[in-house]
Amino acid sequence: MTDFSLLGLSPLTLKAVADTGYTKATPIQEQAIPVALAGRDVLGIAQTGTGKTAAFTLPMIDRLAAGRSKARMPRGLVIAPTRELADQVALSFEKYSKYQKLSWALLIGGVSFGDQEAKLDRGVDVLIATPGRLLDHFERGKLLMTGVQTLVVDEADRMLDMGFIPDIERIFKMTPPKKQTLFFSATMPPEITRLTQQFLKDPIRIEAARPATTAETITQHLVRLPIISPGAKRMALRALVERADVRNGIVFCNRKSEVDIVAKSLKVHGHDAAPIHGDLDQSTRSRTLDSFRKGELKLLVASDVAARGLDIPDVSHVFNYDVPHHADDYVHRIGRTGRAGKLGETYMIVTPADDRNLDKVLKLIGKAPDEVTLDLDWASAKEKDQRRKEIERERGPRGRPERKEHRGRGRPESETSIVGMDAISAAPAQPRPAPAPTPVQETVVVEAAQDRPEVDAPERAPRRERSGRSRGRSAATTGDGRREMEPARTEAEPVAAPPPIPDSRPERRPEPVRGVRAPTPRDDDDRRVVGFGSDVPAFLARPVPATSFSKA
């Protein structure tokens, strides 16, 4: 490894690097930093954990140190696929630029627009953002891309998986053509290759070796289950956590829904665990990560996307609750532990349904992990799974319990309750008594309609007093003109229909219907309609013999 002082960085930047405790550059930093300082485009192919964040952060700081920021016009732009990775880049930039007079802003979802817009109005040198929130600010007119001098795209292959490639193309087109582009991706699928060929200009290709997955600091274990059962997997995970000396650990799941279930299972059984995935709001995700970094949280249950790019230097254990679909994700997962020369352990739970994904992982790492045997009651776990399925069927399509008898006592619990389901049932549903029939009262709808005055009515019919009805009483007029309040009728008393009010208005003749289409004459008919086309009044829509016009 090369010393940082030999890469061409400024003294202030080298001082910030020395404060972090790093003295030697990683292979991708050694190759990328001099090229980026020269202003060339870089195409870096490197996995997470190789130090690529510093490979583009350090040269960007030195290149932007001489300029000055303008309102709503950032000079450097970093695009990251997830909020956690963007926040990680922001922390790195803050750490390495503390001796430079540079400002930065983080634009991610889950945070109010007002605070972000205030930073943009003051002007920032570097903008670190996710694609969606960046485009939201641009469409609001709060951001201009015409001053971007350096554009960094991090984890491009992950953006492809998340469907962000159209947004990345749009961002490229909004930035000036003459700019420096630093493009990093772990793999190079055809779509990513097309993107680099379209927007990068004569880039220097830098490919870092895959991080050593069989390092001596990481001990890998494999746990095979004899059955395919979610309950058995949760039971095995709890047994592994209890038997290992876990100071802190990360549990990886393939699906976000499974993350919540596993985290709840661990908490119910007395373990300090919390979930993190893309469906949680940003404040919850940030609070959970901060607690895990500070050592206040023991177990972090995460999905691959949420944990992508997390830089937590001291993690003792990694548990693969699910075998990853992509073998590269296994490399990323176990790379969370065994860092900086510290020891780490990893466990992977495997069921008979994971044979194909397991073969890909073993082929990639080129080594079979040590197998661990657990002596657990697998039959009871499978029996609980069957009871959960029965309860789920009884609860109906939307999770509402159907009115049928359940076995045992108690009230049926939800599927995510996970534990304590040995005797779950509900009492027989009692038939609900039929409601008493409500007596129908006659309402004077016709009278109200008749009370409305017409435009051409010569007289206005006397309006009935309604003010007393709003207070539960009816108003009546005495002989001397005073109103007397009568008690309101109860529902049991019949309501007599009032006598009809004679209508003294003159009879109105019906108006003619307008806009009636005249019948179309047949070809063999010698009659035709002339003068008004096909839209004529009804009283004129009368066929006229053609001979009467021919004489004229």
Give tens-digit pLDDT for 404-428: 444 443 333 333 344 444 333 333 4
Cα separation, 122 vs 34, whole angstroms: 32
pLDDT at 469 over 70: no
Which amino acid makes up residue 510?
P
Of 36-50, 76-90, 380-394, 512-526, the range with the lowest mean pLDDT is 512-526
pLDDT at 280: 86
Long-range contacts formed by 490-497: CB under 8 A, 24+ apart: 491/438, 491/439, 491/441, 492/439, 495/441, 495/442, 497/442, 497/444
How many CB atoms are closer than 10 A to CB 440? 8
Query: pLDDT value at position 432?
Result: 52
More confident residue, 78 or 545: 78
Residue 278 contacts residue 303 (beta carbons within 8 Å): yes
Cα 19–51–127 angle (5° rounding)? 80
Segment holding 146, helix H or strand E = none
Residue found by looking up tokens 């197998």 in the block: 371
In terms of Cα–Cα distance, which of 321, 153, 308, 147 is closest to 234? 321
pLDDT band at 473 (very low <50, low <70, confident <90, very high): very low
CB burial class (10 A; 0-12, 13-18, 19+) of residue 364? middle
Helices 282-293 & 83-96 angle (0-180, nearest 10): 50
As a whole number of angstroms, the distance between CA 228 and CA 131 comes to 39
The pair of structure tokens assigned to 205 is 């290709």
Given a cut of 50, is residue 550 above it in pLDDT?
no
**Which of 59-68, 94-103, 535-544 shows the lowest mean pLDDT across its residues?**
535-544
Taking all residues of the chain, what is their mean pLDDT, rounded to a whole number? 77
CA 114, distance to chain mean position in Å, is: 21
What share of the chain in percent tops pLDDT 70? Answer: 68
CA 68 to chain centre: 36
Q: Is the pLDDT of residue 252 over 50?
A: yes
C-alpha 58/C-alpha 320 separation (Å) is 34
Among 131-145, 284-298, 494-508, which stretch is predicted with the lowest mean pLDDT?
Answer: 494-508
Domains of the chain, start order: 4-207 (3.40.50.300), 218-376 (3.40.50.300), 381-417 (no CATH)
Give me the mean pLDDT over the 281-308 stretch.
86
8 Å CB contact between 302 and 252: yes
> Residues 458, 508: contact at Cβ < 8 Å?
no
Euclidean distance between CA atoms 392 and 409, whole angstroms: 17
The span from the CA of 355 to the CA of 368, in Å, is 13
pLDDT in tens, 299-353: 999 988 666 667 777 899 999 999 998 887 888 788 888 876 688 999 999 999 9
